[in-house]
A and B are shown apart, each in its own frame.
Chain A
Amino acid sequence: DAGVTQSPTHLIKTRGQQVTLRCSPISGHKSVSWYQQVLGQGPQFIFQYYEKEERGRGNFPDRFSARQFPNYSSELNVNALLLGDSALYLCASSLEGTAYQETQYFGPGTRLLVL
């Protein structure tokens, strides 16, 4: 049974460019969350999607956006990239997206470097 998958694994962009990261949740999981992990820090919550609807948003600028598709996969888009956007972007999935009742599983991440 496959876990959470993300693509690409690594990405190099220049300032001002746009990037799209992709995530496929565990089969049967309807909730996807996105986190940003800057080197040496804990992951920071960006978005949660459940059944194609945004359920939660962290303290990130409008340059960050996401969506979820009918097959529950998700994309994270970042526009007008800044050097500070360089980080590991993690996707996590859970069944219904309610923390108290279930476990969230992380994907391997996409490492983004902005030059």
Chain B
Amino acid sequence: GENVEQHPSTLSVQEGDSAVIKCTYSDSASNYFPWYKQELGKRPQLIIDIRSNVGEKKDQRIAVTLNKTAKHFSLHITETQPEDSAVYFCAASRDMDSSYKLIFGSGTRLLVRP
């Protein structure tokens, strides 16, 4: 069945360092890959997404890369700040069957130490 694996489950970095979170998906038909940030007790917030027609996308300190051959995608956060501390979820979706069904990874708890 469809599955998204996410690593690591926890990540602790020093303020100013970079953080990388990796996800692997099983459904080769997946073509949309969003990343969500969820702070404690709050809703998931979309921070960046990538579609299968590109290999990389960047938005200020955040970037996502996609390797369709290997079926994995990664989130890169540079110059981390304490407010980046949260749980990050990757997800994958395909719309071949015209549905918007996101399959989420299990999450990465990022802690940025001041």
Contact call A108/B42, Cβ cutoff below 8 A? yes
Judged by a CB distance under 8 angstroms, whether A103 is at the interface is yes
The interface residues of chain B lying within 8 Å CB-to-CB of A44 are: 104
Could you tell me how many residues of chain B have their Cβ less than 8 Å away from some Cβ of chain A? 30
Judged by a CB distance under 8 angstroms, whether B89 is at the interface is yes
Could you tell me how many residues of chain A have their Cβ less than 8 Å away from some Cβ of chain B? 27
Stretch at the interface among A18-26, A65-73, A75-83, A93-101: A93-101
The interface residues of chain B lying within 8 Å CB-to-CB of A109 are: 43
Task: Using CB atoms, name the residue of chain A closest to B90.
Answer: A42
CA distance A97 to B95 in the complex (A): 9
Main secondary structure of the interface of A (DSSP, over half): mixed
Judged by a CB distance under 8 angstroms, whether A48 is at the interface is yes
Residues of B53-106 at the interface with A, using a CB-CB cut-off of 8 Å, are: 89, 91, 93-95, 97-106
CA distance A45 to B6 in the complex (A): 17
Q: Which residues of A contact B (CB under 8 A)?
A: 31, 33, 35, 40-45, 48, 55-56, 58, 90, 94, 97-101, 103-109
A-B contact sample (8 more), CB < 8 A, given A58-B101, A94-B100, A104-B102? A42-B4, A42-B89, A48-B99, A55-B100, A97-B98, A98-B95, A99-B95, A100-B95
